[in-house]
A = this chain, B = another copy of it.
Amino acid sequence: MREDQALLAFAALSQEHRLRIIRLLVEAGPEGMAAGALGEKLGAGSSKMSFHLSHLEQAGLVRSHRDGRLIIYAVEVATLSGLIAFLLKDCCGGRPEICAPAFAEARAEGPIKCSGPEAPKHPRLISADRLPGESVAEEA
């Protein structure tokens, strides 16, 4: 991932509504979700949703396709994983004191092990009602 793409992605994720859209879309999986359904979950009007969704799409974090009168948005997995790789590689640059705790923290308490083949297919990690606060053992 190039630096300018990473900048766009960070900017896209730095807004509350957009971050929650991404979390909902990750949860929704490859089938994605209609703009209206997302707006309903977030309590945001159609115009607002359209604004943020197009922002996310420009950053390459989601893609969309029309299905009848709905427009379905789904997360662009490659960009998200590219962004994580960017942080791991270009930003944290092989310093184990940065990466190792991240891996540990991501696995600890996390419902799912991420890197193993033993991970379930459709985990539903993020429940929408857990979004505002946080779960249990956090704080980096």
**CB pair A95 B26 closer than 8 Å:** yes
**CB pair A98 B26 closer than 8 Å:** yes
The interface stretch among A32-40, A46-54, A112-120 is A112-120
Count copies of this chain in the complex.
2
- Shortest beta-carbon distance from A9 to chain B in Å: 8
**CB pair B114 A96 closer than 8 Å:** yes
Q: Is A71 an interface residue (CB 8 A)?
A: no
**CB pair A26 B140 closer than 8 Å:** no
Chain A interface residue count, Cβ-Cβ cutoff 8 angstroms:
70
Interface residues of A in 93-140 (CB under 8 A from B): 93-103, 105-106, 109-117, 119-120, 123-126, 131-134, 138-140
**CB pair B80 A84 closer than 8 Å:** no
**CB pair B93 A77 closer than 8 Å:** no
CA distance A85 to B117 in the complex (A): 19
Q: Is A2 an interface residue (CB 8 A)?
A: yes
CB-contact partner of A82 in B16, B103, B105, under 8 A = B105
Interface residues of A in 47-93 (CB under 8 A from B): 77-93
**CB pair B111 A85 closer than 8 Å:** no
**CB pair B105 A89 closer than 8 Å:** yes
**CB pair A88 B100 closer than 8 Å:** no
**CB pair A101 B115 closer than 8 Å:** no
